[in-house]
Amino acid sequence: MLTLIPLFLTLKRPMCLCKLINSGCPASLKDNVYQDGDMVITAFLPLYTYQTAPHSEGPESTDIYPRIHPTNYQFAMALIFAVEEINRNPLLLPNTSLGYGFYTAGLSQEETVLTFLIWLTGQTSFIPNYTCRREENSIAVITGTTWEISSLIGTFLGLYKYPQLSFGPFESSMNDPDKFPSLYQMTTKDSSLALGMVSLMVYFRWNWVGLVISDDEKGVHFVSELIAEMERNGVCVAFLEMIPISHMFSMTFATIYQSPVVMNSVKVIIIYGDTDSSLGVLFRRWEYVSPWRIWITTSQWEVTTAMRHFILDSFHGTLIFSQHHGEISAFKDFVKTVTPSKYPEDIFLAKLWENYFDCSLSDTSCKALENCSSRGSLEWLPWYHFDTAMSDGSYHVYNAVYAVAHTLHKMLMQQVDMQTVKNGERMKFPPWKLNHVLKNIQFKNPTGDSVTLNPSKNIHITYDILNFWNFPQGLGYKVKIGTFSPYFPPGQQLSLYEDRIEWSTGVTETPISVCSESCGPGFRKSLQEGKAVCCFDCSLCPENEISNGTGKYVDQCVSCPDDQYANTERTHCFQKAVTFLTYENPLGMTLAGMALCFSTLSASVLGVFIKHQKSPVVKANNRTLSYILLVSLTFCFLCSLLFIGQPNIATCILQQITFGVVFTVAVSTVLAKTITVVLAFKITAPGRRMRGLLKSGTPRFIIPICTIIQIIICGIWLGTSPPFVEIDTHSEHGQIIIVCNKGSVTAFYCVLGYLWALSIGSFTVAFLARKLPDTFNEAKYLTFSMLVFCSVWVTFLPVYHSTKGKVMVAVEVFSILASSTGLLGCIFFPKCYIIIMRPVKISLKATRDRVQGK
């Protein structure tokens, strides 16, 4: 018996300790609040934050200490408000009351684990396998606001499949059912936040933006989505500053002043992270050295918790993306009634009163809470210290409590159907049994908003865009300036009331945040080597390209259509004038007049020769060949008219074919005349065979033979690649030239080459016969005419290739006229002069020749 007494005392010792620990006033426990109920919801809330020590404000101050965060304390108030509202509702949880308990989640993982173990064991001195918990009927845990707090506690709770509801920002990693089998996130994924922010940048044409992001898993995931969306919309990253979450106690002068936030001149900066992290501490230094910036952030980033000089306030003009939710007006009335006397066990509320209402609180005295005056009210606090409107985080806490209540409602209804509860007996559920109902719960909260905890459901989030206004004495105000609704069609997702926006102090117009100003009309971007695409120089658009400064062409050049041309300023495209070598054109009129004049002259010479066909001059020049040559020259002059006027298929074909055939007749006739002269003066002995050739008119067969060969060449040309009408839009600026394309260039040069061969043959024969004793110098005239003909066409080729459009046509017409005129003038003008002007001389010479027996 004596040996059992020590064993009994050993077993009784933990129970005694529990009684000792749980006795006394509420302040004796470490930072926790408890309100009993049939079923209790426990919350772990980050109620403390780091603040700058009094009298140490300024950019160089690094004195920081923890204190109650008034904004975060609103989470606890939302929890209490929701529990009391549910308890007043006889339909939701009839005959059942909800209780609550909340603990502070520490500023470090060690403090969070310590707080969790205090809740788990109910004591500050931990004894293995014993617990002194008051919340034996706790059925769910609410955690937030950071991923670190929720995942750390969730790791422990997941062992027992204890329901956990996280109200912090959505984390994809916490959706892993293997790692967190009973964790539910009240927030939905911010899948459209990056798109919304970039849409805002595009709206204001900001393409040079700085990024300041917390260096954690959520920050990395967000910045990857943001940068991808920025690249798709042509927005560039001026700098990217990733702030480690453990950076808080390593801040130095260089950290503050040499940060890109201070050194870079970018006007717009996106800041994403937790204000309770080192990023929040750093920013409270940056605001003193980098005012007049436009900050874009989320509602999780609190910009109203300190009174600053409103002129140098860097937060003034901040644009805030806040998830849209219904307004709970009853919450403001509830806040007005919250006092330490109403909630005497709330140690956090007492500390809040101590900070703001001159209330003395001692951690060792149970009477300390009674000393706090109940005459104060949170609604008396300036808005930048405490906002009576429910924040986004508080709204999610509110929904989390209702999610548990609706789950219990379903389970209670099922249990009532299955069994009768004894009078006075509490309804009890093992916490793990809530999971099968909680994971599929869907309901509408008192504001009418739909709430679901199923992460697989794709719920579009509408964002309210708020603009922060700051006034003297820190009287800040958030103004709704627009919305972003991702489920609307592109181009209609962003809706802004730009006239409501207040920019940074002293800025009256929409700020410009670009690396390089947009190029003006007529210019295009020239990227700077090694820099982002938003950094560029402006250069004049190339010829026939424009940039009119509107729409998508604002920074790049586009080519004018083929039927249009760009003005010299490269800003507009004008319709090109359709042009060709017309008869109304001075050049065309001149060439046509020359062709008609020379053809008439050629016909007149033919008339003279026919009229004086008995004349010795005409007889000496072989009348038949002269007639053929004059007729062919007349057609040579007239064929040039085919090149003038609007081209069509018929004229394009006739131009080259007529030119080739008629000139072949002319040149072959000259060749025949030259051979005739040679035969006439080389044959001296009568009865020789050559005299027979001359008398039989054999040289005349040269003309049809040569012409047939040219006709065959032209036939092949027409059969393979005939000429066609071509619209030339590039030869002359501002004009569309209609010309005849040669089709086969090879065939065209074959025609010219054949003419060239005939002319060279004629010139050679005439040159050899130039010293023959001809009375009328026929051989010399033929030699000179072929020299002129060859000179014209040798000059034609380089000039023809160096011109374009209608000038090229004019060159060909001029070559036709010049070469034809050369033949006409050199061969026939001297003879016409003798026939018309010196007829007596011809008669005397003929008489003298008869007398001398010639």
Closest Cα partner for 717 from 757, 746, 691? 746
Which of 77-91, 436-450, 686-700 has the lowest average pLDDT?
686-700
| pLDDT at res. 697 | 56
Would you call 821 helix, strand, or coil by DSSP? helix
Q: Which domains does the chain have, with CATH numbers?
A: 17-54+71-189+327-452 (3.40.50.2300), 193-326+460-500 (3.40.50.2300), 523-575 (no CATH), 603-720+750-829 (1.20.1070)
How far from the centroid of its chain's Cα atoms is residue 320's Cα?
24
| pLDDT at res. 41 | 92
pTM: 0.61
Region 616-620: mean pLDDT is: 71
Count Cα neighbours of 545 within 13 Å in the Cβ-side half-sphere.
14
Closest Cα partner for 737 from 647, 674, 827, 629? 647
pLDDT band, very low/low/confident/very high, at 836 (cuts 50, 70, 90): confident
Three-state secondary structure of 563-615: CEEECCCCCCEEECEEECCCCCCHHHHHHHHHHHHHHHHHHHHHHHHHHCCCC
pLDDT band, very low/low/confident/very high, at 364 (cuts 50, 70, 90): very low
Whether the pLDDT of residue 59 is over 50: the answer is no
| pLDDT at res. 229 | 92
Whether the pLDDT of residue 279 is over 80: the answer is no
Q: Are 700 and 624 in contact (CB under 8 A)?
A: yes
Q: How far apart are the first and last CA of the chain?
A: 183
Please state, rounded to an integer, the average pLDDT across all residues of the chain. Answer: 76
Neighbours of 568 (CB within 10 A): 8
Would you call 834 helix, strand, or coil by DSSP? helix
Which of 67-71, 113-117, 351-355, 552-556 has the lowest average pLDDT?
552-556
Peptide bond into 145 cis (omega under 30): yes
Closest Cα partner for 268 from 231, 241, 243, 237? 237
CA distances from 760 to 667, 767, 785, 788 (A): 10, 10, 12, 11
DSSP class of residue 159 equals G
Would you call 18 helix, strand, or coil by DSSP? helix
| pLDDT at res. 313 | 53
Give 831: exposed, middle or buried? Use CB within 10 Å, 0-12, 13-18, 19+: buried
| pLDDT at res. 397 | 92
Which of 377-381, 418-422, 748-752 has the lowest average pLDDT?
418-422
Strand partners, 342: none
Q: Which residue has the higher pLDDT, 477 or 253?
A: 477
d(CA 252, CA 249): 9
Chain segment 430-471, per-residue pLDDT in tens = 888 888 888 888 898 888 888 888 765 556 678 899 888 766
pLDDT band, very low/low/confident/very high, at 307 (cuts 50, 70, 90): very low
Q: Which residue has the higher pLDDT, 321 or 424?
A: 321
Region 821-842: mean pLDDT is: 74
Region 751-778: mean pLDDT is: 73
Give 82: exposed, middle or buried? Use CB within 10 Å, 0-12, 13-18, 19+: buried
Sheet of 32-35: strand order equals 32-35, 98-104, 39-45, 138-143, 164-166, 183-185
Q: Name the percent of the chain lying above pLDDT 90.
A: 7
| pLDDT at res. 29 | 43
Whether the pLDDT of residue 851 is over 60: the answer is no
| pLDDT at res. 387 | 77
Chain segment 203-236, per-residue pLDDT in tens = 998 989 989 888 777 788 888 989 999 999 989 9
d(CA 335, CA 376): 12
d(CA 661, CA 639): 11
Region 21-29: mean pLDDT is: 44
Which of 2-6, 271-275, 497-501 has the lowest average pLDDT?
2-6
Biggest alpha carbon–alpha carbon distance for the chain: 189
